[in-house]
Structure 1
Amino acid sequence: MMLVRSASAPAPGRLENEDHVFRYGDLVGVLDGATVPDGFDTGCVHGPGWYVRRLAARLGLAAADRPAAALTGNLAAAILAVRADHGGACDLDHPGTPSATVCLLRHGADHVDYLVLCDSPLVLDLGARVQVISDERLRTAMADLRQKAELARVGGEPDPATRFRRAVALQREQMNRTHGYWVAAANPDAAYHAVAGSLPLHGPERVRRAALLTDGASVAVEQFGLFDWRGLLDLLSEAGPGELIRRVRLVEAGDGQRRSGFKRHDDATAVLCEFED
């Protein structure tokens, strides 16, 4: 049996939550829509909030139609279906088309299947050790962009706003490219570049607990260092996912640590799945 608890909250001062958490039977998922910086075009009449809700619904339909199919195939089918949902009103080849990270976990009879695409990690309690399933390609791409931006600054580029716009344009150019990073958007091929696999639910290294996180929640470990990954799992088990988000907000408000990129705060989502042996 899989027990699931979740919490999700928009960034302070924002009305819309561009994260989305869902459960369809044995399938649990977390999506993180890519926020569009002010003043940037997307070629689309829809926003990231619409995209994550549609993608979640299409993943649910794919899971119902093909419950035993590979998660990569179901994600590809869902992306293709959402492409049709745009209705021909959008330029889906635009580099800023709405996109989202994906973290999926599916409970089977004696195993769990997982899929991670872009920077929404999956944290697994395997008893003696904790395993983090992550997709590092966006992090690598962003590090390259920061290096290029620093070189531009040293070279005498005078306007920070110009550097920022150039960095966003460069990031968009690397989206869903072989030497860039992969994310759910309008190209179903991205699904086949996800980090995917299966782990047992029985035996000494069985999965006991799993946390699905957007980067607005994983910063508790990755940026703020509030605890390690096992400590994060323990907090989720003992106090619930909402407490994790509360602690992240306290750090953000308390000492003004800034997140990487153009946002100080982000939407935050955490899901805890617990499995009985």
Structure 2
Amino acid sequence: MEAPGRRYAAGGGPVGRAPMMRVRCASDPAPGRPENEDIVFRFGPLVGVLDGATVPAGFDTGCTHGPAWYVRHLAARIALAVADRPAATLASSLAEAIRAVRADHGGACDLDHPGTPSSTVCLLRDGGDHADYLVLCDSPLVLDTERGIEVVADDRLEATQDDLRRAAAAPAGGVPPAAGEGGRDGGGDPEGGFRCAVTAQRSRMNRAHGYWAAAADPDAAYQALTGAVPLRGPGALRRAVLLSDGASCAVEQFGLFDWAGLLDVVTEAGPAGLVDRVRAAERDHPDRLRRRKRTDDASVVLCEFSG
């Protein structure tokens, strides 16, 4: 497992049967942040990106551990679950991993607290004749097949935030605005509005009509977007890119290029090349960000398949 920290890049050899999967990856903490709350990993035929949810200053989590601890433990537990039961679905393996991390917390943490550590999950597994995938929360997967480009994106967190914004803007509102915006519940104070927004968003995690993430509830795994794509024949997968939102913002927020352009940048300049483009955009165009943080941890995994 690749450890979080300063940027790194890694290459991989063949995995499983032909077509072979070559893996390159990079992960970079936000400038000025001492700890990377993302992690990228590879365990045999399985690759993944996890993005831990940053805890805003002054907020309680009911837990003695932080997001970086959570993503490291979850990545290791996912690998063990997949190794234990290679034929199990990725959703089932993720559920088992979440259950195991509950035990890793020990008895001192309140795992029912709405701020308990959580993470997005993006997984891709080489199965020889096909690759299966899982996407949970806002770490998208970009697939380049012989039939075109497909983006697997879980937009329920964004939909929840938009719902909170609309409710706050309504004349009979009473639900606080999304993060970074003031509102009636914040008394016109941006910080007060932000605190109300975080509290409201936390109340929607792992709830119907809300959004889903890996936290303390194993059932969240079964709410993930899953599927498979062939590695041989018509529609065969050629490239795949797994991203944390600190890297996908190159398309979704900064509009530096479309998804096809992102695939080409990552292939030609490597995963670290995409991170460099994001860092430059964060410096030059902070007004385009739709998040409170001006910069974020950024992680990219590129998988290339050749027969």
Structure 1 residue 213 and structure 2 residue 243: aligned? yes
> Relative to structure 2, which stretch is displaced further, 257-266 or 224-233?
257-266
Q: Distance in 2 between matches of 1:57 and 1:68?
A: 18
Structure 1 residue 257 and structure 2 residue 276: aligned? no
Specify every segment of 5 or more residues in structure 1 that has no aligned partner in the other structure, as ranges. none
Q: Distance in 2 between matches of 1:70 and 1:121?
A: 19
Structure 1 residue 89 and structure 2 residue 119: aligned? no
SS in 2 for 1:230: helix
Task: Name 2:24's counterpart in structure 1.
Answer: 5
Task: Name 1:227's counterpart in structure 2.
Answer: 257
Query: Cα offset for 1:254?
Result: 1.6
TM-score by length of 2: 0.88
Aligned with 1:74 (options 82, 90, 93): 93
Query: Cα offset for 1:149?
Result: 3.5
Structure 1 residue 196 and structure 2 residue 215: aligned? no
Task: Name 1:64's counterpart in structure 2.
Answer: 83
Q: Which amino acid aligns with 2:136?
A: L
Highest relative contact order (Cα 8 Å, sep 6+), 1 or 2? Answer: 1
| Residues 59-208 of structure 1 mapped to structure 2, 5 A cutoff | 59-151=78-170, 157-208=187-238
> Relative to structure 2, which stretch is displaced further, 154-163 or 44-53?
154-163
Q: Distance in 1 between matches of 2:286 and 2:113?
A: 35
Q: Which amino acid aligns with 2:148?
A: R
SS in 1 for 2:287: coil
Query: Cα offset for 1:136?
Result: 1.1
SS in 2 for 1:191: helix
Query: Cα offset for 1:258?
Result: 4.8
Query: Cα offset for 1:155?
Result: 5.1
Q: Distance in 1 between matches of 2:203 and 2:127?
A: 38
> Relative to structure 2, which stretch is displaced further, 46-55 or 201-210?
201-210
Count, aligned residues:
277
Query: Cα offset for 1:145?
Result: 1.6
Query: Cα offset for 1:154?
Result: 6.6
SS in 2 for 1:257: helix
Contact 1:251 1:257 in 2 (8 A): no
Contact 1:7 1:269 in 2 (8 A): yes
Contact 1:182 1:193 in 2 (8 A): yes
Query: Cα offset for 1:128?
Result: 3.8
Query: Cα offset for 1:178?
Result: 1.1
Contact 1:83 1:186 in 2 (8 A): yes
RMSD: 1.3
Contact 2:111 2:216 in 1 (8 A): yes
Query: Cα offset for 1:65?
Result: 0.4
SS in 2 for 1:218: helix
Q: Distance in 1 between matches of 2:285 and 2:88?
A: 46
Contact 2:183 2:193 in 1 (8 A): no
Q: Distance in 1 between matches of 2:131 and 2:98?
A: 22
Contact 1:258 1:264 in 2 (8 A): no
Task: Name 2:63's counterpart in structure 1.
Answer: 44
Contact 1:149 1:163 in 2 (8 A): no
Contact 2:145 2:236 in 1 (8 A): yes
